[in-house]
Structure 1
Amino acid sequence: MSIPAPRKSALIQGTGIANADPLLTIPEAAAYLNIQPQTLNNWRATGRYTLPAVKVGRLVRIKKSTLDAFIASRTEVAA
């Protein structure tokens, strides 16, 4: 699975400045974690992992910084 190219919505409207913490769709967030979107949905629905999401109307988005923190919290240090 490859990470999708940044969307135009990753730019702050009208400024041309890239958003430092973009909101990713479930498929984009799953691709970033290299998992299937259904796996991410299952984790969120069952509470297996705490992945806070942002609701935009009926749409669910996850901040990239949330995914980065999740990866950091799950990283094991070799002894």
Structure 2
Amino acid sequence: MTDPRRPPLPIYLNNDEAAAFLRLSPRTLEKQRVVGGGPPFKKFGRRVLYAQTDLQDWAEKRTYNNTSEVNLGK
């Protein structure tokens, strides 16, 4: 039985799953890990994983009212 007061454990996604979740190409996430600007990720040895909550937070921060705001957010 699980404790309802305990928050659920984060769900970790690999690169392909995270890209599908965000509707991006896997290559886009790979590039963003190198140049920056992408969602936070975790390294477990050679494995790269993304917490689903981090992906949701990162996506929410990219909300704009018009295209002029996009350049101001950099």
TM-score using structure 1 length: 0.66
Aligned length: 60
Deviations 1:9-59 (A, max 9, x none): xxxxxx8xxx54201000000000101100111111111x14221112210
Quick one: higher RCO (CA 8 Å, sep 6+), 1 or 2?
Answer: 2
Aligned twin of 2:15: 26
Q: What SS does the corresponding residue of 1:76 show, helix, strand or coil? A: coil
Question: Counterpart of 1:42 in structure 2: which amino acid?
Answer: K
Aligned to 1:74, the other structure's residue is in SS state coil
Q: Which consecutive residues of structure 2, in runs of 5 or more, have no partner in the other structure? A: 3-7, 67-74
| 2:39 is the alignment partner of 1:51 | yes
Q: If the length of structure 2 is used for normalisation, what is the TM-score?
A: 0.70
Partner of 2:59: 71
Larger radius of gyration: 2
Q: Which runs of 4+ in 1 moved over 6 A?
A: none
Q: CA RMSD in A?
A: 1.8
| Unaligned runs of at least 5 residues, structure 1 | 1-14
